[in-house]
Amino acid sequence: MSDAGARPAPGALDGLVIADFGRVLAGPYATMLLADLGAEVIKVERPATGDDTRSWGPPWVGDDSSYFLSVNRNKKSVALDLTDPAGSAAARELVQRADVLVENFLPGTLDRLGLGYDEVAQQNPGIVYCSVTGFGGDNQLPGYDLLIQAVGGLMSITGPDADTPTKVGVAVVDVITGLHAAVGILAALRYRERTGKRQRIEVNLLSSLISALANQSSAYVTAGVVPHAMGNRHPSIAPYEVFAASDRPLVLAVGNDRQFAALAEVLGMPELAADQRFSTNEARVTHREELTLILADALAVDTADGWFEILTARRVPCGPLNDIADAVALAQRLGLGPTVEIDDPRRDTPITQIANPVRMSVTPASYRAAPPRLGEDNPAGL
């Protein structure tokens, strides 16, 4: 594990103040990434209950849900009733000194509370205002990740077949949208640095998902092909799927002809690479079923770890089907430092979290504070 320790240098975003009105995952993920890079993030929460994810357990770490802990480190928490004059005044004071405001309420909610973009921009002419919604514009549909995976097409291409739509095992649309929000915020800050002008950013879950569908959405808009679920196979690459080794599943992700020739040689069947059915990727995709039967028999004779060692040495992309514990252990063995320990004065032992994946040589991510207790940074009198 990596120890948080003292920050060796100022963060890239030191001095940046973010008023974080985000909840659940997309907004909080974006602001945590920016907080890790040095920004001061003040999280505005509902009194008594706070962010919804505070109650999303198990699992629990003491009184905290692991869900909430995953996206709220390096932040301060203020509990403000935005419908109460005192709470509204405190929120306005925060917004007036902030560089960035992030929110993911239903469209129009903050306008009714006097914290919409037009009003905030009058109070703070340099504000970068980022709104995260489910469906963009003024659409009032609530944007939960599972819902977006369904209506956005992701579940139609995920699962064993077209009759078994399946969600991805994490709220991936929220995470993707959070990344898009962070990129937009940084771009707007760079523009403000050059011109002094404020800007509003709008990202929504549906558009973010359609963009992230990449080759699959491109297949439809460019070629009229509507993709469907293919289990663990790839529509345009073969072999690119899960096989059964002698002990557990193994993934092959062969992306070019050189890799396939190396695979065939390791398996003791070099003639496969010259076979017209398999000599090119297009041919392998066309004759996928025949190729899969041949490879399945050959790969069943050794363990997943055995094939991993042998094939990786020949630069053939493959690996065993890991669970999350195995994945963290692999990252640790590779020297990636996947975890970090953060001191928390409220606990007897440090809290362990997944590290920020961005590696910066001069201004690295820092881990200054554990996720906050609800309202622990409230202004005096609130």
Please give the positions annotated as active site. Answer: 174
Q: φ and ψ at 159, to 5 degrees?
A: 125, 175
125 closest CA partner among 20, 197, 18: 197
Residue 243 Cα to chain centre, angstroms: 27
C-beta atoms surrounding 210 within 10 Å:
18
Residue 122's contacts (CB-CB under 8 Å, 6 or more residues apart) are none
Residue 324 burial class via C-beta count within 10 angstroms: exposed 0-12, middle 13-18, buried 19 and up? exposed
The structure tokens listed for 29 are 């993920």
Four-point Cα dihedral 152, 200, 93, 96, nearest 10: 160
Cα–Cα distance measured from residue 233 to residue 217, given in angstroms and rounded to the nearest whole number: 17
Q: Smallest Cα–Cα separation from 204: which of 104, 125, 280?
A: 104
SS3 state at 319 = strand
C-alpha radius of gyration, the chain, whole number: 24
